[in-house]
Amino acid sequence: MNLTGTVRSPYRRLTARLAENESLMALGRVACGVGRAVLAAVGSSPDDIRVWSRPIGPGEQVFYAYDPRTGDRFSSPSEDELRAWLENRHRYRF
């Protein structure tokens, strides 16, 4: 017996409601941004390397990094290149 179509999680119900209402969707985006900012401020120090990504197309993204201690920046569509850059930074930071 397959119940996946009949049982819906509260998260799915909420996202379905948000998709129906543009103002709730906008509020959700703002709340998400505020939550990310709070987590970033609480969980990091000013000298920590910052890493983020942005979508550039369906299934594609660009990875960015910034080292505030040196001012160096990095961007690449390759996660492996990002990892190598971060490992190199970590190796010479101490």
pLDDT in tens, 52-83: 999 888 888 999 999 888 899 999 999 999 99
pLDDT band, residue 44 (cuts 50/70/90): low
What span, in angstroms and rounded, lies between the C-alpha atoms of 51 and 10? 31
- What DSSP string describes 27-75? HHHHHHHHHHHHHHHHS--TTSPEEEEEEEETTEEEEEEEETTTTEEEE
pTM of the model: 0.52
Please state the rounded mean pLDDT for residues 26-40.
Answer: 72
User: 37 — phi, psi (to 5°)?
Assistant: -65, -40
